[in-house]
A and B are shown apart, each in its own frame.
Chain A
Amino acid sequence: MGRLVLTDKIGIKGIRDIEVYRAHGGYSSLVKAIKEMTPADVNREVTKSGLRGRGGAGFPTGLKWSFLDRKSDKPRYLVCNADESEPGTFKDRYLMEHLPHLLIEGLIISSFALGVRNCYIYIRGEFRYIMKILQQAIHEAYQQKFLGENILGSGYSLDIFLHPGGGAYICGEETAMLESLEGKRGNPRIKPPFPAYKGLYDCPTVVNNVETLATVVPIIEMGGDAYAEIGKGKSTGTKLISACGNINKPGVYEIELGLPVEDFIYSEEYCGGIRNGKRLKAVVPGGSSVPVLPAELILHTLKGEQRLMTYESLAEGGFDSGTMLGSGGFIVYDEDACMVRNTWNFTRFYRHESCGQCSPCREGTAWMEPVLWRIEHGKGKYSDIDLLVSIADKIEGNTICPFGDAAAWPVSSAIRHFRPEFEFHIEHPEIVRNIYHGSLVNYPVSGIQYR
């Protein structure tokens, strides 16, 4: 069993209650930070820990915090990104549902470090029952004087408010989230200026993911150096991985970064292998936006090295043969999954969720989706495959926010690794038309390897 630093208390009965949480050492990191440390000390420990943003981009948290405009006389804001909506990702929900006080404690310590007076939790509107859990936790924290005026007699004051989204994937992008929080459509902003200078209400703002902010608690508890010893290389610490798809044990697992992908998929401790004794076909390891890899390439790099669950190892080989750790939304496909259908499905998602600001993304996703639909339904042409590659190339890098890249990568990676399957659809319309939501495993699609 790997070390648990984030979810070690998750099995304790009644841990959602502040008394139980405190009886098991909860809020001791907060007391330590506020009574024994300065905000600069907290920043230093977070920087030393090597913690990287757990929302998907993997940007070093300490560095992000260091960018905050501390010279401005405007109020500063911390916005907690709880808009979890990357397909395949359900780790923040798990954390908030079972350990709400861990998030609240992390928010208070982080706000203290950043000199924030008002903090907002932007949570996706569909998670209404989790809002109820968080609301209760916030209420309890106020009662114990961990929130409100003059926290623990330190002179530091903080309020935390819940703010629901309205069902829009793009609001997980930090500047779209700020627009949404201001009561507008979730259209991402052009950067610079970055939120660290002009964020919420044009004030200096930090936006961090739920898991990132919760991880600040064990970092303060054990110290940044000790945290940095967990994990491998620049991928320090542990990460929540939400595993789903055709596996025996879908769920959220805390892993030490550096765990071999093969162990994660096949060991009983984690995914427990492929469901119904089928073979592994492909994996999308970091939420729907990251490139899909076929079985062999997710288990081993092109050089033949074992692929590890780290930011670096998963990216090994660039986009030719690698992918990304992303948000940790680990989607596993068995031999029955149709990669054309899956790519069409994801593209329909991106088409629906594009905010519509940038033409390449708005028009590009609206072209790719029907082209993929007709290939999947046996009406495609050979030229469609190159057309898709060409559209994806034209979206990538040409939009205000990373959504465009996220919409392009699943298409270009599926064609890169599963081209024969696209060609099979075009060559055999009579077969694909007659398969109900179908599997091609019994047909001779050349070049597809299963494990």
Chain B
Amino acid sequence: MNNRIDHKLYSKEDKPVKFSEDMLKRIGEIILHYPRERRRSVLLPLLHIAQQELGGYLSVDVMDYVASLLDIHPIEVYEVATFYSMFHLEPVGKYVIEVCRTGPCSICGSERIVDQLEKILGIKTGETTPDGLFTLKTVECLGSCGTAPVMQVNTVFYESLTSENIIQIIGDLKNQGNNKPLETKWVDLF
């Protein structure tokens, strides 16, 4: 993907990363969805789980750990993690706001929503607020064109955005502050 090739891989920090025993047991069950000799198939589900459980982004340490769990080379994890846009390779804010920028959302005003979010949050697209609460990104089509413009916050959809309700949404997220948002656990979805 063209505008992703200059992604730098952060150097290894050698921080210990590890799933809990319960989590490992559950992952062991998910692996059984695939043939024994093809267990690498579980890589995408496993990266989703790892991103959510092990720090919010895929650090080199996390990717190396995932590689060791599947007994594959680290590069086989890096090449996959860099291909898919849902994986963050750098630290992100607690709430990752991703606004759809593609055609149908665009003609229904998503560009204005992005401009407004940049103003409200005081950051540019791609940046994280200094308090570490919000990261603002744009993404391609989220498959919700009938309720455009649309954004997702940590893959929770917010639809039919307007310049009014966007203020409310950000306000509510701010008030939740550091409370853990109600989110579906990836590991519970298989």
Interface positions of A (Cβ within 8 A of B): 84-90, 93, 124-129, 131-132, 135, 159, 161-169, 180-186, 201, 242-246, 250-252, 284, 288, 329, 331, 333, 337, 341-342, 345-346, 348-349, 351-356, 362, 365-366, 437
**A185 touching B83 by the CB < 8 A rule?**
yes
Contacts of B144 in A (CB 8 A): 90, 93
**B189 touching A182 by the CB < 8 A rule?**
no
Chain B residues with a Cβ closer than 8 Å to the other chain, count:
48
Interface positions of B (Cβ within 8 A of A): 1-3, 33, 35, 38, 40-45, 47-48, 79-80, 83-87, 101-104, 106-108, 111-112, 139-148, 152, 155-157, 184, 186, 189-190
A161 → chain B closest CB, angstroms: 4
Q: A163-B41, A288-B141 are in contact. List 11 more A-B contacts (CB 8 A).
A: A87-B102, A89-B145, A128-B184, A165-B44, A167-B85, A184-B40, A244-B104, A246-B107, A355-B83, A356-B1, A437-B111
User: Can you spell out 15 A-B residue pairs with CB atoms less than 8 angstroms apart?
Assistant: A89-B143, A126-B152, A128-B186, A129-B157, A131-B189, A162-B189, A166-B83, A166-B85, A166-B87, A183-B41, A184-B40, A244-B104, A246-B108, A288-B102, A288-B103
A177 → chain B closest CB, angstroms: 11
A-B contact count (CB 8 A): 169
Known pairs A166-B84, A183-B80, A349-B140; A125 contacts B155 (CB<8 A): yes
Bound-state CA distance A51–B48 (Å) is 36
**A351 touching B103 by the CB < 8 A rule?**
no
B99 → chain A closest CB, angstroms: 13
**B143 touching A93 by the CB < 8 A rule?**
yes
Known pairs A183-B42, A183-B43, A184-B80; A135 contacts B189 (CB<8 A): yes
Partner of A163, one of B44, B108, B141: B44
**A345 touching B101 by the CB < 8 A rule?**
yes
Contacts of A159 in B (CB 8 A): 33
**B152 touching A362 by the CB < 8 A rule?**
no
Partner of B145, one of A125, A126, A331: A331
**A250 touching B48 by the CB < 8 A rule?**
no
Q: Is the interface of A mostly helix, strand, loop or mixed?
A: mixed
Contacts of B190 in A (CB 8 A): 135, 161-162
**B143 touching A243 by the CB < 8 A rule?**
no
**A342 touching B106 by the CB < 8 A rule?**
yes
**B103 touching A88 by the CB < 8 A rule?**
yes
B78 → chain A closest CB, angstroms: 11
Known pairs A161-B33, A163-B45, A167-B85; A132 contacts B103 (CB<8 A): no
Contacts of A168 in B (CB 8 A): 1, 83-85
